[in-house]
Structure 1
Amino acid sequence: MQTDKEDRTLSTLLKDLAQQTSDLVRQETKLAIAEMSEKKSETKRNLTALATGAGLLLVGLIYILDAVVYGLAELLPPDYSPWLAALVVGIVTSLIGYLLIIMSKSNLAPENLTPRTADSLQRDKNMVKENLNG
């Protein structure tokens, strides 16, 4: 008679384990979806700000660079001043732009957009598989 009671207790425990595991996975999935939505909104805001800032920066930079070219042309020998001033300013500006693009790309890398819950969901999945197989 005692084995029957132990069997029911074990059966109840297994049902409870299955239910709690299911609830945990469901809750973590909801959390992952919420985090992805948050990341999506954050990324959209960042990309909009990046594009707007880049546009405004480009307009301002054109005027500043034009003034720098004229100023540098005044300092260089007359035979080289027009093209050499523009070349120097163009190279320096291109290097700065390249560095800014590289930094922005690293901030938008996929690993920065992955929700923290994804790892937890994978661990839960592995744990359930181990418990069902073991």
Structure 2
Amino acid sequence: MNKEPLHTTPSLHTAEDDAVGVGGLLRQLMREVPDLFTKELALAKAELQQNLATLKAGTAAVAAGAIVMLAGFVILLLAAVYALATVLEPWLAALIVGAVTLVIGFIMLQSGKKRFEPTHLAPDRTLHAMQQDKDTLKRKLP
């Protein structure tokens, strides 16, 4: 009776691998590095597309909300002007409400502008992975 296993797992390690040495390792490295960079670029592209989709959705939501809020805000400003006009001249009431509104709007604009800075859109995970690859290559190469 033959006791050979029915299924054998091919070994990736051969006797030739032991004899390959540094030259073989460098050849293998040269074959694998372009593939690594291709995969890193694909990851960067996917990450940037995801960030762009998030930015588009956020922009649309902000625009829609701003339009609805604008109508309500104008009515509230008119109510504030009418309320101040009971104790001040109407032109002065409108001037005060307008100036306060401009200051608040400027502060809000500056706060929102910070969210569109390029640092928030960078592919952080890809950059980190590429830095790790670079560090690994520096350690492995003589």
TM-score by length of 2: 0.74
Q: 2:127 aligns with which of 95, 118, 121?
A: 118
1:54-133 mapped onto 2 (5 Å cutoff): 54-76=66-88, 81-116=89-124, 117-118=126-127, 120-121=129-130, 124=133
Give 1 or 2: higher helix fraction. Answer: 1
2:48 counterpart of 1:11 = no
Q: 1:22 aligns with which of 34, 39, 57?
A: 34
Structure 2 stretches lacking a partner, 5+ long: 1-16
User: Amino acid of the residue matched to residue 75 of structure 1?
Assistant: V
Structure 1 stretches lacking a partner, 5+ long: none
Which structure would you say has the larger RCO, counting Cα contacts within 8 Å and 6 or more residues apart?
A: 1
TM-score by length of 1: 0.78
Looking at structure 2, the residues matched to 98 and 53 of structure 1 have their Cα atoms a distance apart, in angstroms, of: 18
Post-superposition Cα deviations, 1:91-128, rounded to whole Å, max 9, x if no partner, equal 11111111111111101111111111135446757987
Post-superposition Cα deviations, 1:63-90, rounded to whole Å, max 9, x if no partner, equal 01001100011122xxxx1111001100
* Corresponding pairs, count: 125
Aligned identity (percent) is: 37
CA root-mean-square deviation? 2.6
